[in-house]
Structure 1
Amino acid sequence: MSQHAHLLLQLTRMLARQELRGAPLSMRLCTAYVRLARAERGAISLGSLGDERALLCATDEPAARYEDAQDLAGEGPTLQALRTGAVASVDSSEAHASTWPRLSGLSPQHPAHVHALPMRPDGVVVGVVTVHFEAAGMLDEEQESLHFLGDAVGAACLGQASYDDDSRGLWSERDRVAQATGAIVAQLRVGPADAAAILRAHAFASDASVHEVARRVVSGELDFSRDPYGGTQ
């Protein structure tokens, strides 16, 4: 199984965990991302490249306060990533203070190791996922995995996975998506919103339309109660 497929399978199973049920979908996605990234805390913001952002969720109060401090300071990793479309990160308190001095002054308890990654499920920035780590240093393959996982979470949040324009308005296609969503609900015992998010994330990851993934689910070709990638569990 490829690393990307493994990450997506882990994300799917994380959303299905009983301990995360009851929270808003955005919070479950954020919590799942933070855990899979082996980070301490995190937050998801929505917004387009160079535009204002809206904080969607944060895993805890320190993460929320850090995001609020960025708005007050007018600078910080989340804002920088959204303005530039590039990853914004630092790996020490000194680097944090020199890169974002106003933010460091407003947030003396700032994380020393923070990474803000633009979410681009369709090649267009739709938001930023920001994570705080306890230790510095990250391998190139770990950064690449975080990029992929962030894009998958963006697709799950916003439904940015590609659709076939010619079939978007066909009732048969809509019915198939509804059937597939119901099948995922039954397979994983999750709510409809979670099932739809999983459908979108898998469509993004497989570079397919939501309708195509729905067809595979309805036909039984794709079953999330088993390993959908055919690997070992």
Structure 2
Amino acid sequence: MGQNRRQRLLDLLAADRATKPASMVELACERCVRETTVSGAGATVLSHLPTGGGQPSRGLVYATNTVSAGLEDLQLTVGEGPCLDAFASGGPVLVADLAAERTRWPAFAPAACELGAAAVFSFPLQIGVARLGSLDLYRDVPGPLTRLELTDALILSDVATHGVVADLDGHDAEDVSWLADPHVQIHQAAGMVQVQLGVNTESALLRMRGHAFTRDMTLAEVARQVVARSLRFTNDTDGQ
């Protein structure tokens, strides 16, 4: 049964690629939306987990819509969510009712619900013990994936993993700067805030993240202001 479904999905992806030349990661995300009852999908590469209030080095590979892209950005901003949990555990994170997970993700869950997500499902992109990132799905109404939908999502996450590996060919696995990453300026801004405050990079990122969260901004928006020098952090205030 599982092998038949895998072959079916591979045939569909081959047909997709024949009509739309694109990366296998992009095609796998779009096929997830078609084959499962989800509203959107996104794939992200991570090089490591955040420690001490820092952030993982990561890049958004593809998102099927603005909500999916927003959910990826939100997890980067608040430093929690299903993407990071899936990457840490090496197993799927399946949440059928996001509103009930406010204790688990006190910052991510309510903000994600405001974005329009009611259920989230994250699958690690990994080969053996090597984890590369996650495939993240969301639904705008609560409810679990069916057994067959879960099977398809697992197959497509495997396809996306091999797509990421193909895209990484010729790049250092720790370097995600080549990706279509909307957060490139964050690293530049963190260096500037580090100098402004006289702290390490992780502390600078923590201050930027707090500023973003308390003002209902994305971390990318804060970074743009820092780089444009319209926002400067001091040791007395969040920024001015």
**Equivalent residue letter for 2:35:** L
> Which moves more between the two structures, 79-88 or 120-129?
120-129
Residue matched to 2:17: 15
Residues 10-53 of structure 1: CA deviation (Å, up to 9, x unaligned): 12212223xx44x6664344223332334211110012564623
Task: Measure how far apart 1:105 and its partner are.
Answer: 3.9
- The question of whether the paired residues in 2 share the 8 Å contact of 1:15 and 1:29 is answered with no
Which residues in structure 2 correspond to 1:189-228 (within 5 Å)? Answer: none
Map of 2:60 onto structure 1: 55
TM-score (norm 2): 0.57
Pick from 126, 130, 153: which aligns with 1:120?
126
CA separation in 2, counterparts of 1:148 and 1:27? Answer: 15
Is the counterpart of residue 6 in structure 1 residue 13 in structure 2?
no
For structure 2, the residue ranges without an aligned partner over 5 or more in a row are: 51-55, 168-240
Q: SS state of the match for residue 100, structure 1?
A: coil
What is the number of residues matched between the two proteins? Answer: 157
The DSSP-based 3-state class of the residue aligned with 1:138 is coil
Structure 1: gaps of 5 or more residues: 161-233
Q: 1:121 to 1:34 in 2, by over 3 A?
A: farther
With over 3 angstroms needed to count, the CA separation of the structure-2 counterparts of 1:100 and 1:67, relative to structure 1, is same
Query: Using the alignment, how far apart are the partners of 1:65 and 1:85 within structure 2?
Result: 23
AA of the residue aligned to 1:109 = L
Matches within 5 A, 1:58-77: 58-77=63-82
The residue that corresponds to 1:46 in the other structure is 45
Measure how far apart 1:97 and its partner are: 2.4
Q: What is the SS of the residue equivalent to 1:154?
A: helix
Within the candidate set 148, 159, 167, 2:155 is matched to 148
* Pairing 1:79–2:91 present: no
SS of residue paired to 1:98: coil
Equivalent in the alignment of 1:94: 99
Instruction: Please give the alpha-carbon distance, in whole angstroms, between the structure 1 residues aligned to 2:36 and 2:129.
Output: 22
Cα distance in 2 between the residues matched to 1:129 and 1:58? 10
Tell me: CA distance 1:25–1:156, structure 2 relative to 1, closer, same or farther (3 Å).
closer
Q: Write the deviation string for residues 134-184 of structure 1: whole angstroms up to 9, x where unpaired.
A: 451223343233112211121023239xxxxxxxxxxxxxxxxxxxxxxxx
Displacement of 1:73 in angstroms is 1.0
Asked if the contact 1:118–1:129 (Cα under 8 Å) also holds between the matched residues in 2, the reply is yes
Partners of 1:85 and 1:49 lie apart in 2 by 13
Provide closer, same or farther for how the CA distance between residues 153 and 65 of structure 1 changes in structure 2, counting only shifts above 3 A.
same
Label 1:28 to 1:3 Cα distance change in 2 as closer, same or farther (>3 A). Answer: closer
Read off the aligned partner of 2:17 and give its amino acid letter: L
Query: Which range moved further: 77-86 or 91-100?
Result: 91-100
CA distance in 2, matches of 1:24, 1:152: 11
Alpha-carbon deviation of 1:115? 0.2
Q: CA RMSD in A?
A: 2.5
**8 Å contact kept, 1:11–1:33:** no
Which residue does the alignment assign to 1:175?
none
Contact 2:41–2:68 (8 Å) recurs in 1? yes
Equivalent residue number for residue 30 of structure 1? 29
> Alpha-carbon deviation of 1:65?
1.1
Shift of 1:58: 1.0
Q: Percent identity?
A: 22
Q: Aligned partners of 1:106 and 1:38: how far apart in 2? A: 22
CA distance in 2, matches of 1:10, 1:25: 12
SS at match of 2:102: helix
Letter in 2 for 1:140: R
TM-score normalized by the length of structure 1: 0.58
